[in-house]
């Protein structure tokens, strides 16, 4: 059997939206939230360094592949992603429509694209579904005859959709045998609702692992939503962006070496419960400026989560009638920068198919976990940890 690949590309860029969430968008947010924490924990367990991913970008790219899966492969993808029932694609459309709404206070844009081998046998119903539900346009490329040119074309699209923050996500060798590349790109640039003042930024010690270091620490004393969670043994601080629809939530362990304990108890329900305890109070905040870029190949991680058949079997008859198609890898690249003004981040995921009492201050001077969430739909757009600024 001639094997061809599908490559899934997910891109997210953070810059700084209005539709009432429906029942299906809330259901999707729960599914994506559970997937987000399961994925994060698998990635975090593999090393001791910084982590930053866009689970929403990854799940969107996989959902576009899920649309063409059949039989046991579809069932297995559904279990790992938390997709049950026919609501999924309508829910993604509703969520993306809500997130993509123009807003003068921040920039958030989501785009999807199909890159297909020239003269391929991609089924028209599949292309129609992706265009209708995911607003995904189509470009025909010659992966087999000109893989370098095809890779350049895809990289240019990704770069354009992420304000040049994500570059060279895919190499010619990754697309040489591809029949189809599915790409999701998200860009976000947001400004703090209460910005830090640059004059209050000064050097401070961050107790990184394995050794402490001097970094630029931002300072502010204002009213923020704050909680202390006994079960997670951490403080939680909400840093809202302008418009107050998107927020960064920071989970700071009580102990400098307490992140492992927090991560072991991390799941959708423990975080949801912890966030319900947030209450407004005036509190001094010390927070590091940081920037990180992370590139990942997610095939092994997803297989460890139980998604094995999509990489080993050929149950994608909803994409090509002849079959012989499987996912070769899921490539993800993410970028984030946090400073006094706010946050800018980008991420890309590519899937390839082949035929209590409060402290006096919140001082983030040791490793912590953070996530960026859309409060309207409940979607977790980013999650990460800072081990070493």
pLDDT at 13: 46
Examine the pLDDT at 152 and tell me if it is beyond 80.
yes
Domain housing 38: 4-192+291-354
pLDDT at 378: 93
| pLDDT tens-digit map of 107-142 | 877 888 888 888 778 889 999 999 999 988 888 899
Residue 12: phi and psi, rounded to 5, are -135, 130
Do 131 and 73 lie in one domain? The reply is yes
pLDDT at 163: 87
Which CATH number goes with the domain that contains 303? Answer: 3.30.497.10
pLDDT at 9: 61
Angle between helix axes 88-99 and 55-66 (nearest 10 degrees) is 140
Which CATH number goes with the domain that contains 258? Answer: 2.30.39.10
Confidence of residue 360 (pLDDT cuts 50, 70, 90): low
Provide the whole-model pTM: 0.89
| pLDDT tens-digit map of 278-313 | 999 999 999 999 998 888 889 999 999 999 999 888
Do 273 and 299 lie in one domain? The reply is no
pLDDT at 354: 63
Domains contained in the chain, number: 2
Contacts 24+ apart (CB under 8 A), 126-131: 126/67, 126/68, 126/318, 126/319, 129/67, 129/89, 130/64, 130/67, 130/182
What is the average per-residue pLDDT within 326-355?
A: 83
Do 165 and 213 lie in one domain? The reply is no
Do 243 and 319 lie in one domain? The reply is no
Do 75 and 214 lie in one domain? The reply is no
Do 213 and 335 lie in one domain? The reply is no
Confidence of residue 321 (pLDDT cuts 50, 70, 90): confident
Do 322 and 239 lie in one domain? The reply is no
Do 62 and 156 lie in one domain? The reply is yes
Do 168 and 267 lie in one domain? The reply is no
Do 182 and 271 lie in one domain? The reply is no
Examine the pLDDT at 83 and tell me if it is beyond 80.
yes
Do 97 and 143 lie in one domain? The reply is yes
Do 18 and 47 lie in one domain? The reply is yes
CA quadruple 280, 382, 55, 128: dihedral sign: positive
């Amino acid at each position: 059997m001639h094997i061809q690949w599908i490559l899934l590309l997910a891109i997210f860029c953070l810059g700084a939206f209005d539709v009432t969430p429906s029942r299906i968008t809330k259901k999707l947010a729960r599914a994506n939230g559970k997937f987000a924490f399961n994925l994060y924990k698998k990635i975090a367990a593999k090393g001791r360094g910084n982590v930053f991913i866009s689970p929403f970008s990854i799940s969107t790219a996989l959902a576009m592949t899920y649309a063409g899966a059949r039989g046991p492969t579809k069932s297995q993808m559904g279990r790992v992603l938390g997709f049950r029932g026919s609501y999924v694609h309508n829910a993604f459309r509703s969520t993306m429509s809500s997130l993509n709404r123009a807003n003068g206070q921040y920039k958030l844009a989501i785009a999807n694209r199909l890159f297909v081998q020239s003269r391929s046998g991609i089924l028209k119903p599949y292309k129609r579904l992706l265009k209708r539900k995911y607003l995904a346009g189509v470009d025909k490329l010659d992966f087999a005859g000109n893989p370098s040119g095809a890779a350049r074309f895809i990289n240019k699209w990704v770069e354009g959709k992420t304000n040049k923050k994500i570059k060279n996500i895919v190499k010619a060798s990754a697309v040489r045998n591809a029949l189809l590349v599915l790409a999701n790109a998200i860009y976000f640039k947001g400004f703090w609702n209460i910005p830090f003042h640059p004059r209050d930024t000064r050097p401070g010690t961050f107790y990184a692992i394995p050794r402490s270091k001097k970094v630029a620490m931002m300072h502010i004393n204002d009213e923020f939503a704050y909680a202390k969670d006994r079960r997670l043994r951490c403080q939680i601080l909400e840093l809202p962006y302008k418009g107050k629809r998107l927020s960064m939530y920071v989970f700071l362990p009580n102990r400098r070496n307490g992140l492992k304990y927090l991560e072991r108890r991390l799941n959708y329900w423990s975080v949801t419960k912890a966030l319900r305890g947030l209450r407004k109070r005036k509190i001094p905040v010390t927070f590091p400026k940081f920037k990180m870029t992370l590139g990942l190949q997610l095939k092994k991680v997803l297989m460890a989560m139980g998604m094995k058949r999509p990489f080993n079997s050929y149950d994608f008859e909803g994409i090509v009638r002849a079959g012989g198609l499987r996912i070769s890898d899921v490539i993800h690249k993410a970028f984030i920068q946090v400073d006094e003004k706010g946050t800018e981040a980008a991420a890309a995921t590519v899937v390839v198919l082949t035929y209590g009492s409060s402290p006096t201050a919140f001082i983030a001077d040791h490793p912590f976990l953070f996530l960026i969430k859309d409060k309207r739909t409940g979607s977790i757009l980013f999650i990460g940890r800072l081990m070493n600024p």
